[in-house]
Amino acid sequence: MGVSMSDANSGVSSGTGQRTDVAIVGAGPVGLFAIFECGMLNMRCHVIDALEGAGGQCSALYPEKPIYDIPGYPEIMAEDLVAKLEEQAAPFEPVYHFGQQVVSLDETGEGRWRVETSAGTVIDAAVVMIAAGVGAFGPNRPPMEDLPAYEASGAVRYLVTRRRDFRDKRVVIAGGGDSAVDWALSLSELAAHVAVIHRRPKFRAAPESVARLQKLAEDGNVELVIPYQPAALEGTDGQLAAVVARDLDGNEKRLEADFFLPFFGLAQNLGPIAEWGLNLDYNHIQVTPATCATNRAGIFAIGDIVTYEGKLKLILSGFAEAAAAAHAARRIVYPDEELHFEYSTSKGVPGS
């Protein structure tokens, strides 16, 4: 096992030079579950994330969005899933380094890795596990004038962190993917009016969600503005009054609005990860499916950032990858020990 850290009980780093078994890059759901899987195999973890807390996209982009495909939970809010994963990882006393980005990753020459963060923290790890989701991300902004003023006032938002902000408000959503459709469904329950602008009649979201949206439109609970695209914003001093939509023939519709939510996806940027000598395929890391090993010995990758034949971008797939990577990593951390595998039901967890 790696050297015990003096700040381990606090769960948050306080020193600069630290040693551990596994350094996990990314504290999203998959990174959090990797802590549990590593802990069950007697490996200590340090976790680095550029955000100020755990949860990744679930916390930063849609904490109040329900997730329906987590085994055992017919429905669970993203923020509640993150809280459960943190609780599950807690017995293994992970050390978190929040608000820090990994800026360099170097071999030490001793079969270990030197991980340095933007805050000057240096971590000596036997294994590095990359669970960075889509990497650094930011919204794809629509090509509209005066966006900064409306962004500053909060009238234009690229994520929903509190549904209650939209109660009894007029909301215009733009986009045709899962985020646009899911938030249209959710906000229709409390907003005064919800309109959805999309450039074509066919949506790219889950079929069941699209069917629910169309039913809401038929019942007059949601206005579908198709095939249109957002063209302009109207308002004064950052206070939004309306969103103007325009079709290919130049026809316009004026939609009164208090909020405009454009969901055109995220701009992905791997940042320093792209410089680590890993096999990349369009901003994704190629791994061996059975172990999630990369082309560099001692570095594994799991979750949305990886690619292989048959890869599914689902949280539950990332959970399985975390388990596979942890078992493969143990052979590096404990090269001279044979693993006598035990199920959690018989082994238990610390404190249980």
Q: Could you state, in chain order, the average pLDDT of each consecutive group of 10 residues for the chain (352 residues)?
A: 34 66 95 97 95 78 80 92 96 94 90 93 97 73 89 90 92 94 94 97 92 97 97 95 96 97 79 90 93 97 95 94 97 89 77 69
Q: CA 14, 16, 22: angle at the middle one, nearest 5?
A: 90
Is residue 234 within 8 Å of 244, Cβ to Cβ? yes
Distances (CA, A) of 268 to 104, 136, 139, 147, 271: 19, 6, 9, 21, 9
Domain with CATH 3.50.50.60 in the chain: 17-137+266-347, 142-262
Distances (CA, A) of 125 to 47, 178, 243, 332: 11, 38, 51, 11
Rounded-to-5 percentages of helix, strand, coil across the chain:
25, 30, 45
Q: How far apart are CA 107 and CA 125, in angstroms?
A: 10
Is residue 292 within 8 Å of 46, Cβ to Cβ? no
76-79 LR contacts (CB < 8 Å, sep 24+): 79/55
Residue with tokens 């889950």: 206
Q: Please report, in angstroms and rounded to a whole number, the separation of the first and last CA atoms in the chain.
A: 21
Give residue 340's pLDDT. Answer: 76
Q: What is the pTM assigned to this prediction?
A: 0.70
Q: Does CATH number 3.40.1080.10 belong to domain 142-262?
A: no
Give residue 352's pLDDT. Answer: 67
Is residue 28 within 8 Å of 55, Cβ to Cβ? yes
Give residue 220's pLDDT. Answer: 96
Give residue 2's pLDDT. Answer: 34
Could you tell me the maximum CA-CA distance found in the chain, to the nearest angstrom?
A: 72
154-159 LR contacts (CB < 8 Å, sep 24+): 155/235, 155/238, 155/239, 155/240, 155/258, 155/259, 155/260, 156/233, 156/240, 156/259, 156/260, 156/261, 156/262, 157/259, 157/260, 157/261, 158/261, 158/262, 158/263, 159/60, 159/61, 159/62
Residue with tokens 């018989």: 346
Q: How far apart are CA 240 and CA 304, in angstroms?
A: 35
Give residue 10's pLDDT. Answer: 39
Query: What is the pairing mode between strands 122-130 and 113-117?
Result: antiparallel
Helix (H, G, I), strand (E, B) or coil at 130: strand
For 17-137+266-347, which CATH class?
Answer: alpha beta
Residue with tokens 């805050």: 119
